[in-house]
Amino acid sequence: MVRHRQDEDAAANGMVPGPKRLSGRGKEVMGFMQEKTALKRSLKAAGICVMTALLFLLTGCMTGKVFDGTRVSDASAFRMEYSMLNREESADLSLTEGDRLQVSLSHTEGHVDVTIGMEGNKPVYRGNGQTSAEFTLEISESGTYRISVSGHLAKGSVSFVRISGGQQ
């Protein structure tokens, strides 16, 4: 180890030796190391930007449309046919005790969840991941029923038709 006279004098007086002055080659090495560190930081930042952009693009491309189809809702029915359902659609039907609700579900692609019920009450029907079904629900309590159909990349149709208590 090479010791400098200045370091020995500083140590003798209880002082910490000062920084060394770099030679020409030392300055080159130090400059190279600083450039290398800066380059690593730039590459890391660029990588994060690229990954964020890819995530943003892929998320948008995978979902594309949120709804492509027809939706009809009136006082007696709620019907939808869709080539793409990628969100929740809902409708309210006023039903009376003794009414029946004719339900028809037909799905060829994707995932569909259906919920039927009055707000604040337990749903009278909940179907998760259904493909096809036809059934009738007996309405035991009068009120406004919310029918919610939630799809993820789904293709198909749904139909909810009120059958008045006096009709067969």
pLDDT, position 48: 79
The pLDDT value given to residue 60 = 47
Q: What domain range includes position 90?
A: 67-163
Residues 48 and 95 in one domain: no
For residue 98, tell me if it sits in a domain: yes
Question: What tokens were used for 100?
Answer: 């029946």
Tell me whether residue 9 is in a domain. Answer: no
Write out the chain's pLDDT in tens, 168 residues.
555 555 565 556 665 555 556 566 666 666 767 777 877 887 787 767 667 766 655 554 454 689 999 999 999 999 999 999 999 999 999 999 999 999 999 999 999 999 999 999 999 999 998 888 999 999 999 999 999 999 999 999 999 999 998 665
Point out the domain boundary residue: 42, 63, 84.
63
Same domain assignment for residues 98 and 147: yes
How many Å apart are CA 58 and CA 117, to the nearest integer?
36
What pLDDT, on the 0 to 100 scale, is given for residue 74? 96
Record the pTM. 0.62
Supply 24's token pair. 């020409």
113 within a domain of the structure (yes/no): yes
Residues 110 and 44 in one domain: no
Residue 1 lies in a domain: no
